[in-house]
Amino acid sequence: THLDGCAPPRDLVAVPLTALNLDANFACDEAHRPALHAVRWGSRRDAQALIAQHGQPSLVIGSDICYEPTMFSSLLDTLSLLGAPCALLAVTLRDGCDMTFSAAATKRGWAVSRWWGWDPSPGGAGGACGDMPPNSLLRLERERDMERDE
């Protein structure tokens, strides 16, 4: 789903805070305003429709989406279908899911690097945010794109 203007479409229920953030930080007619889309994981139809209407994305950004190992395959399928050379995923560090996801992505041909991590708990590097678990930002790059740049 694409955001036209400043109002999110009614089927964009899963990402309303992102839509509000875009509205707060970019003018509706700003040339470099990021486009926000909802795509069902593993849906070739959704990915093809998005690409047909708006072109192939240059970057995919995701947050709090790597906590269920049974869904990693569908998430990685979606990233491949979208064809973006890079994805940035904010990942909560819980039960080793970040490492399991990183291993699955590497096995599927992505180079995974941890850009940085932070601990939002009291006394952690991220400040005092209650009982929130530590987080990390993963950068996924397609192996073939990295080889082309060398």
Buried b (16+ CB within 10 A) or exposed e, 7-35: ebeeebeebeebbeebbeeeeeeeeeeee
> Domain ranges in the chain?
39-149
**Angle of the 97-107 helix axis to the 72-82 helix axis, nearest 10:** 50
User: Do 41 and 75 contact (CB within 8 A), yes or no?
Assistant: yes
**Whether residue 21 has pLDDT greater than 50:** yes
**pTM value?**
0.72
Give me the pLDDT at residue 116, please: 65
- Residues 39-149: name the CATH superfamily: Vaccinia Virus protein VP39 (3.40.50.150)
Q: 3-state class of 93 per DSSP?
A: coil
What pLDDT, in 10s, does the model give residues 67-95? 888 999 999 999 999 999 999 998 887 78
**Nearest CA to 121 among 108, 135, 107?**
135
Give me the pLDDT at residue 87, please: 93
Across residues 122-133, what is the average pLDDT?
50
Q: Which residue has the higher pLDDT, 135 or 140?
A: 140
Mean pLDDT, the chain, integer? 77
Return all residues near 39 (Cβ < 8 A) that are at least 6 apart: 46, 47, 50, 78, 82
